[in-house]
Chain A
Amino acid sequence: MNGMTEDKAGRVLEVIREFANVGAGNAATALAAILDIELVNEVTSCNILPLSKVARWLGGEEQIVAGVYTQLCGDLKSGILVVFPKNSTEMMLKHMTKEDVDLANLNLIQGSALREAGNICLCWYLVAVSRMIDTDLIPAPPDAAIDLLGAVLDLPLANLGAKVDTVIAVHTRFKGWDSEFDGYFLMLPEEQMLRVILEKMGDGSK
């Protein structure tokens, strides 16, 4: 974060952790219902990263992931990307559809299930963010892709273009009784959105 002292960055991260925990908790409850398993969740890390570091934080451009992406429709603009690693995606889709999963060729139901799982996660995180900054946030219905991580990140980066270089990233581990999976929530706010978030997080002097 340019121009932010370590102290401030630490405080902002604290607030991010707070909304991340609320969002992840809600997402876990909702996912548990559609997966039909008991789930607990743990927010393992929160971060504020420049765009160029995101791929490495997520484990490298060449790994295969599922990405569910959308944008906010209101006055405040932001890209929202939920990323599930390959194994997590397979496990989740298998649970949801009770069918074998071939990530190279998802059938219609599985594609839809993936979009829905992503939608549920991103909406619940957004609700948490929305309450925290006391502003309505309306996402468009998302689309999903299963591909190389670098490729999945391209469009979100291109949409931000030259404007901002800050990504809010949260990693959550969802644990069931015999399985666990990971979800990454990435928020790519445009300038005004980022300012609002930082202000409401008690960093108004920035």
Chain B
Amino acid sequence: MGSPCELLVETKDEALALRVARFAAHEARRIDGKFSRYRHDSLVHAINSSHGRPTSVDDETARLIDYGEALWKLSERRFDLTSGLLRQAWNFDEGPVAAHPKKIPALLDHIGWQRVTWEPPTLTLPEGMEIDLGGIGKEYAVDRVADWVITETDEPVLVNFGGDLRCTGRPPANGAWHVGIESIELAGEAAGRIKLGAGALATSGDAKRHIEIDGVRHGHIFDARTGWPVRGAPRSITVAAPTCSQAGSYSTLAMLQGEGAEAFLQSEGVRYWLLR
């Protein structure tokens, strides 16, 4: 998952807490392993090495691909499961980016969901293209764990995978989960806090990393249509929604709107916090 994952369970039942924690850890590892781009035994690696041959995927992968396709349509192609190749043009490590903008047109030839043949359960990925489910996988994992926890217990539980989180059951004893988020600017270094009584929070953007191109600050969320970072993107957006997947999608799609992020979120009527 690339980030610390934790579970908070408010209960006197130690056995329940262990059971829930074990499931969460197991599920996080399973999803990470199955959809990791790096692991040679992962399904995504198999797809990315298919050299244009049709691949049959299982039900869970099919649902995730459907979801990625839906986001591609809803974002008017800005979000694209095949846009991972852009990392070759942009340096994501610390420090200002050394970009290779000349590589972008060539990369764009291998980016675009419209080039993919998706007839569930068969996916045909042309040679030279790759898919990356990292943009939706973490939120999906949170929702999977949360949906299972709901069937197990009504006690207050918070599933938090690296800042994408969702709570289930009754609110905790003090009324709500207090979550610190960086999308609220306060005096000094401290994060602002949100009281979460129900639902999920997801955050897009990274206030600590940015790309500077000709002195202009850009975020590191890329518009798949152009291959370039979104101009005028906020530093950080946090959205509240019933599920973590929805919250993550809203925050990603809002990022992709750049200057129009606030207008987008307001017209969607979701609760959000945004830092520019």
Q: A and B: partners? A: no
Q: Interface on B for A, CB 8 Å cutoff? A: none
